[in-house]
Structure 1
Amino acid sequence: MRRNFNYRANFNHRREGKLSGTFGFSGFTRDFLSVGAEAPAPHTKQHSFAAYALERLDFEKVGFQFGGRIEQNGYRPEGDFRARNFLGFSASGGTRARVWNGGTFVANYQHSFRAPALEELYNHGPHAGILTFDIGNQDLVAEQGDGIDLSLRHTTTRVRADAGVYYYNIRKFVFTAFTGQDDAASKLPIIRYEQSTSRFVGAEANLEVQAIPTLWLSGRVDYARAELTDQSKPLPRIPPLRGSIGIDWRYKAFGFRPQLVMARKQDRVFDHETPTAGYAVLNVAGSYTFVTRRLTHVLALNGNNLTNRLYRNHLSFVKKIAPEMGRNVRLNYTLRF
C-alpha cells in the first residue's frame, strides 16, 4: 500500500535577447507499507525535494543548453532499520549545431547524482513480480557519474537518420548481483543489491527512407557494453547487439507494417547469470481507418512472433523458466472523437 503526495512548480523567465529558460521545484512524500507475512520492505516514510534550472542560448546556426539540479531524499523506516538521507547535485551542458542543410550535430555532457531507491536499501524477502528473493543493502551510498554523448541527425522530406555514441562512468553504481544461492523457505534465487564503479559505452543508429510516396523503409541497430571496472566483470542484465528492419506501407485507409527484430547471443554475463541465444522474430501489423461524421474508427490486426520462435529476453529475471511469448495475434478496435 502506498500513499503519495506529489507537487511541482515550473516558472519561465522573461526572454533576454537570445537567452530563455525555466526554473522550479518539485517533490513528493511517500508512505510505503507492504503488508503480509512476506512483506519485502518495512513500513517506510520517504520525502524528496529538488530545485532546478534550465537555460538556453539560441543563435541562427548553433544553440547551447545548460542546467543544474539539487536534490534531497530521506528515508525513515520503522523497526530495526537505519534512517538514511542523501543530498546531491546534478548538472549538464550541451550544444546543437547545424552542419549542413537538414543535418545537425549534438553534443552533451552531464554529471549525475542518484540516491538509492527504497527497495535497494531495505528489501529483504520474496519479490513475486520477478521471482527472486531480494536482499537490500542499508550501507549503499549515492551514485555519481559523468558522461558524454555525441550524435548526428539528418532530416529531409525523404530521409530521417540519426546516429550516436555515448560514454558514462558511474561511481558506486547500484546493481542486482546474482548469488547462485536459493532461499531455503521460498526456494527463490537470491539477489543482492551491491555497488561498484561501472563504465557504459554504446552506440545506436536509426534510418528511415521513403522509397515511394506510400512506402517507407526503416532500420535500427544498438549496442551497449557495460563493465564493473574495479572488478573487471560485465554488468548483469545488459542487452546484446540488437537490430530491426521494417516496412511502413500506407495506401488510403490501409496500413501494413512488417518488422523483423533481431538480437545476437549474449554471453558476456555476470557471476551466476544465464547467457541467452540470439534470435530473429517476425512481427506484422495492419490497420484500416475510416471516418463517420465526427468519429474516427481504427481496426488493427497485430501478429507477433509469427514464426513461433522460442527465444528469451536477456533483461528478464525469469528468462530461465519463462521464455518470451510465442505466436500471438490481436485484433483491436479504437474509436476517436
Structure 2
Amino acid sequence: FETIVGVQDMNQTNSNYGEEQLIPDATTNDIGILAVAHIHFEKADMQLGARYDNRTINVISGINKNFNSFNGAAGIKTTISNNFTARLNLATGFRAPNLAELTSDGVHEGTNRYEIGNPDLKTEQNFQTDLALEYKNQHVEFYANAFYNKINNYIFLSPNGTIINNNPAYDYLQADAHLYGGEIGLHIHPHPLDWLHIESSFETVTGKQRNDKYLPLIPANSVNNTVRVEFNTKQIQNGYAFIKLSTTFNQNNVSAFETPTGGYSLLSAGFGGTFSVFNNDLSLRISGSNLTDKTYFNHLSRLKPEEIYNMGRNFNVGITYNL
C-alpha cells in the first residue's frame, strides 16, 4: 500500500508591451490538492486518486473569473494469465477555460488564425473510461485499447466562415460532446528470425457534439506498418534498417466551415549503427521520410487554409562520435 499527497500551484502573469495584442494583461492563479493511493494484490494492482482544483483569472480590463472542481479516479491492472494483462480506468476530469479561450481577439501569428474568445465559457467536466488488453510472449505482442470520454461544456476552436485581417476567423465555442476511439497493434519477431520485427497498428477517434454534429480538428484514422531488421557484425554494432508505410484515411467527418481532407500514404526508410573509429564509437543514423514526394494535407495542418502542403521528401543524417 502506497500513498502520495501533494499540492500544486501556479501563478502566471501576462503583460503586453507591443502595439498589437492577442490576449489582454491578466493574472492567472491555479492551485490543486491531490492524493493518490496504490494498492497491491497478488494478481492485481489498484490505484485510487482524488483531486481538488481552483483557478482564478483576473483581467486588468475588468473580467474576473473563478473556477473550481473536485474529481476522482480509479484504475485496476490484473494479470489474466502469464502472458495476458488487462487494465480498466474510470475517471472524472475538470478543465477551466484559460486566458486565451476567454479573451482572445486578434491574429495568432503561430497558427495563421484570427481567434475570438468567449468570456462566458464554463468549466469542462468529463467522465472517461478506458480499457486496455495486452498479450505478450517471447515472439508476439498484441494490444487493443479503447476509450470513451463524455465531456460537458467541451471547449473547442471552430472556424466561423469569415476572414478578418486576411486570416480565417475561429471562435472558441462550447457544447456537450463525446469522444471515442482506440488503437490496435501487433508486433511479431518470429523465432528463429529474432532479428526481424514486423509491426502494424491502427488508430481511430471520433468526436461529436450532443446534437450529433462532428467536432472540428479531429485527426483522421490511420494505419502504420513497419518492417525492421537488427544485426551485429564485426564492423557494425547495434545495426538496424527499417521501412515504414503510414496510411492516413480520408477525413470526411467535419464540422461546419471545415473542409474534408483526402487520404494519403507516406513511405519512409532508414538505417544506422555504431562503428569503431580510432578506438572510439561513431554512431551513424540516416533516414528519409515521404520518399515518394507525395503532396498532401494533414487534416490538422494550420497551413491547410493557405493551401500550403505538408513537408515533401526529406532526409536526415545524424552522427555521434564519443571521444
TM beyond 0.5: yes
Superposed, 1:54-65 pairs within 5 Å as 54-65=36-47
Say which of 182, 207, 215 aligns to 1:203.
182
Aligned mates of 2:2, 2:70 — CA distance in 1: 22
- Please say if residues 103 and 154 of structure 1, whose CA atoms lie closer than 8 Å, have aligned partners that are also in contact: yes
- Please identify, of 30-39 and 250-259, the stretch whose mean Cα deviation from structure 2 is larger: 30-39
* Equivalent position amino acid for 2:177 in 1: S
Instruction: Name 1:152's counterpart in structure 2.
Output: 133
Q: Secondary structure at the match of 2:267?
A: strand
Aligned mates of 1:220, 1:132 — CA distance in 2: 33
Structure 2 gap ranges (5+): none
Aligned mates of 1:41, 1:294 — CA distance in 2: 57
* Equivalent position amino acid for 2:21 in 1: A
Superposed, 1:115-154 pairs within 5 Å as 115-154=96-135
Aligned mates of 1:100, 1:243 — CA distance in 2: 29
- Percent of paired sites with the same residue: 27
Structure 1 gap ranges (5+): 1-18
Instruction: Name 2:258's counterpart in structure 1.
Output: 273
- Structure 1 position 90 matched with structure 2 position 98: no
- Please say if residues 144 and 172 of structure 1, whose CA atoms lie closer than 8 Å, have aligned partners that are also in contact: yes
Deviation of the 1:154 alpha carbon: 1.5
Deviation of the 1:72 alpha carbon: 1.2
Count of residues in Structure 1 that have an aligned counterpart in Structure 2: 315
Aligned mates of 1:148, 1:291 — CA distance in 2: 51
Q: Secondary structure at the match of 2:316?
A: strand
* Equivalent position amino acid for 2:250 in 1: K
* Equivalent position amino acid for 1:74 in 2: T
* Equivalent position amino acid for 2:249 in 1: R
Instruction: Name 1:100's counterpart in structure 2.
Output: 81
Instruction: Name 2:297's counterpart in structure 1.
Output: 312
TM-score by length of 2: 0.93
Q: Secondary structure at the match of 1:119?
A: helix
- Please say if residues 110 and 146 of structure 1, whose CA atoms lie closer than 8 Å, have aligned partners that are also in contact: yes
Say which of 182, 191, 199 aligns to 2:170.
191
Cα-Cα RMSD: 1.6
Instruction: Name 1:15's counterpart in structure 2.
Output: none
- Structure 1 position 29 matched with structure 2 position 14: no
Say which of 195, 199, 206 aligns to 1:218.
199
CA 1:296–1:87: 2 relative to 1, 3 Å: farther
Q: Secondary structure at the match of 2:102?
A: helix
Q: Secondary structure at the match of 1:42?
A: coil
Aligned mates of 1:295, 1:161 — CA distance in 2: 39
TM-score by length of 1: 0.90
CA 1:49–1:297: 2 relative to 1, 3 Å: farther
